[in-house]
């Protein structure tokens, strides 16, 4: 119960205070609301406010003095105005009205801290569609863009509507593996016995683990599969010691072992190191018998990866399998297969299959037309480090005698060609078979340790007989007695 007696000058302040005060929602508070306000001047000069309620005046009202007596009982405020009558006519007014307090939660206006009419703020929450500031202003607890939104049945934390599990399935989002379902559509994948089953994938990107040089991961019926790709394209088979692997039906393979034969030698084998794919030379055990390149026929054995021949090693060897060492050939000279004809041998001397020799018109006769020397000249032969320098070769020479034909072998001593063999007059040379000849070159080794050799012939006089001339094989420059074959 509240009793108030107010002057008009303080009413505004009072209303302002009420509007700022928190509304308790208690409907026992009277709200200032007047349908009629009557202000008059008292006889003593003071102004007394007559307010609220409906004033009923009977006859002519001459109100000199007004006293407001406000009694508030619950929701009803009763104001009794007593008018003193100064004349014969007396007017008595009894007013009963709804009272006069501040904003309330049921005054049909948006005031106080309400977010919409009579709701929100400290009033009861608003219904869907009404204005709000925050979820607490709403019955649904959801304030979206300033308006109370209906509660999302798919996010209300209970299984309702057509959901198959809490907030999923039906018209809500699909359920995850392990959640309840009614049909496949309720699940990311499949519904099995009322439960969404586990799935490996939903889209191809989930299967990227299966991407390789030769495969592409794909999601098929919610399971990852590796599809073959890059058919016949290059791929890495993971073996550093294979080369040229390709994809075949999704599998990388078919690579060839890396070729490390460049490191092969008499006492080592080129092998690929699987750790880094590099070629390395693996040495044969020491004292393993071996065949030394240009070895001179001793008891060659491997020593720390090198084939050492105790008979020595030659500086140069030529079996004439081809002309890869670069001999210079004047007219009539050839390097090729031995051939029978005009006294030439049908087989070479070297015990290999190439049958290669050097000779004058292989399988035929030398010309008998007069000419100066035609020569077979060796490549440069480096004899550095060779303590003992001899030349040996196998010969099958069939010639006329000087002056019809003359034959010679020369060595370059750094300044001049020096003859180390020549033919003269009768009798002529006619080798019956391959024959070994050896020459000491030690006196002729030039300062730069590089020597040249040449085999030559001429026609010095008309009337020469047809002869097969030179056949040369297995030329060796090395220590004396060095005979590889
Ligand atoms: Ca040969
Ligand atoms: Ca010949």
Concatenating the DSSP letter of every residue in 10-27 gives HHHHHHHHHHHSPP---T
For residue 365, give the ligand nearest its CA: 2
How far apart, in whole angstroms, are the C-alpha atoms of residue 328 and residue 379? 7
Of the listed ranges 92-101, 213-222, 373-382, the one predicted with least confidence: 92-101
C-alpha of residue 360 to centroid of ligand 2, in Å: 5
How far apart, in whole angstroms, are the C-alpha atoms of residue 136 and residue 35? 36
Q: Where is pLDDT greater, at 296 or 461?
A: 461
Please state the rounded mean pLDDT for residues 293-309: 87
For residue 470, give the ligand nearest its CA: 2
C-alpha of residue 110 to centroid of ligand 1, in Å: 121
Beta-carbon neighbours within 5 Å of ion ligand 1: 319-320, 348, 350, 356, 473
C-alpha of residue 476 to centroid of ligand 1, in Å: 12
Is the pLDDT score of 40 beyond 70? no
pLDDT in tens, 319-330: 999 999 999 999
Spell out a b/e string for 253-267, using b for 16 or more CB atoms within 10 Å of the CB, else e: eebeebebeeeebbb
Task: Band the pLDDT of 485: cuts 50, 70, 90.
Answer: low
Please state the rounded mean pLDDT for residues 283-306: 89
What 3-state class would DSSP assign to 9? helix
Residues forming a β-bridge with 279: 272
C-alpha of residue 87 to centroid of ligand 2, in Å: 177
Helices and strands, counts by H and E, the chain: 1, 32
C-alpha of residue 316 to centroid of ligand 2, in Å: 25
Q: Give pLDDT, residue 50.
A: 39
Query: Which are the contacts of 434, defined by CB distance < 8 A and separation ≥ 6?
Result: 345, 349, 394, 395, 396, 471, 473
Q: Give pLDDT, residue 484.
A: 61
C-alpha of residue 473 to centroid of ligand 2, in Å: 13
C-alpha of residue 345 to centroid of ligand 1, in Å: 12
Say which CATH class 316-478 falls into.
mainly beta
* Average pLDDT of the chain, as a whole number: 82
Q: Give pLDDT, residue 470.
A: 98
CATH 2.60.120.200 domain extents, the chain: 316-478
pLDDT in tens, 371-404: 999 999 999 999 998 989 999 999 999 999 999 9
Beta strands 242-243 and 256-257, pairing class: antiparallel
For residue 340, give the ligand nearest its CA: 2
Of the chain, the percentage scoring pLDDT greater than 70 comes to: 79
Q: Which of 108, 101, 112 is nearest to 29 (CA)?
A: 101
Of the listed ranges 67-81, 372-386, 417-431, the one predicted with least confidence: 67-81
Q: Which of 299, 323, 319 is nearest to 309 (CA)?
A: 299
For residue 397, give the ligand nearest its CA: 2
For 199-248, give the DSSP string.
-S-SSGGGGGGG--SSEEEEEETTEEEEEE-SBT-B---S-TTEE--EEE
Beta-carbon neighbours within 5 Å of ion ligand 2: 344, 360-361, 468-469
Cβ(364)–Cβ(333) below 8 Å: no
For residue 114, give the DSSP letter.
-
C-alpha of residue 464 to centroid of ligand 2, in Å: 15
C-alpha of residue 389 to centroid of ligand 1, in Å: 22
The pTM score is 0.47
How far apart, in whole angstroms, are the C-alpha atoms of residue 35 and residue 51? 8
For residue 345, give the ligand nearest its CA: 2
For residue 349, give the ligand nearest its CA: 1
Is the pLDDT score of 474 beyond 90? yes
Task: Band the pLDDT of 293: cuts 50, 70, 90.
Answer: confident
pLDDT in tens, 255-271: 999 999 999 999 999 99
């Amino acid at each position: 119960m509240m009793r108030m007696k107010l002057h008009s000058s303080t009413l505004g302040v009072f209303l302002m205070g009420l509007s700022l005060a928190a509304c308790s929602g208690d409907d026992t508070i009277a709200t200032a609301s007047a349908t009629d306000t009557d202000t008059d001047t008292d006889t003593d000069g003071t102004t007394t406010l007559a307010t609220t309620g409906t004033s009923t005046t009977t006859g002519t009202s001459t109100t000199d003095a007004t006293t407001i007596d406000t009694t508030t009982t619950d929701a009803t405020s009763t104001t009794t105005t007593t008018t003193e009558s100064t004349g014969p006519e007396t007017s008595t007014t009894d007013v009963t009205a709804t009272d006069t307090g501040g904003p309330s939660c049921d005054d049909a206006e948006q005031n106080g801290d309400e977010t919409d009419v009579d709701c929100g703020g400290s009033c009861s929450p608003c219904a869907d569609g009404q204005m709000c500031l925050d979820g607490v202003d709403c019955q649904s607890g959801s304030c979206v863009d300033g308006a109370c939104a209906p509660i999302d049945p798919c996010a209300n934390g209970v299984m309702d509507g057509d959901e198959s599990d809490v907030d999923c399935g039906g018209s809500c989002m699909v359920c995850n593996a392990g959640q309840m379902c009614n049909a496949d559509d309720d699940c990311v994948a499949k519904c099995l016995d009322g439960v969404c089953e586990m799935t490996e994938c939903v889209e191809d990107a989930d299967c990227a683990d299966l991407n390789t040089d030769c495969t592409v991961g794909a999601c098929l019926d919610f399971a990852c599969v590796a599809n073959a790709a890059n058919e016949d394209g290059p791929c890495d088979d993971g073996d550093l010691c294979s080369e040229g692997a390709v994809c075949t039906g999704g599998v990388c393979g078919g690579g060839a072992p890396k070729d490390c034969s460049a490191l092969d030698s008499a006492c080592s084998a080129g092998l690929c190191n699987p750790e880094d794919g590099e070629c390395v030379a693996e040495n044969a055990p020491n004292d393993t018998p071996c065949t030394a390149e240009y070895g001179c026929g001793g008891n060659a054995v491997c020593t720390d990866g090198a084939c050492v021949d105790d008979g020595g090693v030659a500086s140069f060897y030529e079996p004439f399998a081809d002309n890869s060492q670069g001999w210079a050939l004047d007219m009539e000279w050839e390097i090729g297969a031995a051939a029978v004809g005009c006294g030439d041998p049908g087989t070479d001397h070297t015990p290999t299959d190439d049958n290669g020799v050097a000779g004058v018109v292989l399988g035929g006769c030398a010309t008998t037309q007069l000419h100066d020397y035609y020569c077979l000249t060796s490549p440069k032969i480096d004899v550095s480090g060779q303590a003992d320098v001899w030349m040996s070769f196998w010969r099958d020479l069939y010639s006329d005698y000087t002056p019809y034909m003359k034959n010679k072998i020369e060595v370059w001593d750094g300044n001049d060609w020096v003859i180390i063999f020549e033919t003269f007059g009768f009798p002529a040379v006619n080798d019956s078979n391959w024959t070994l000849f050896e020459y000491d070159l030690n006196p002729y080794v030039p300062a730069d340790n590089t020597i040249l050799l040449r085999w030559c012939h001429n026609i010095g006089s008309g009337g020469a007989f047809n002869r097969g001339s030179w056949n040369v094989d297995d030329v060796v420059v090395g220590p004396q007695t060095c005979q590889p074959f």
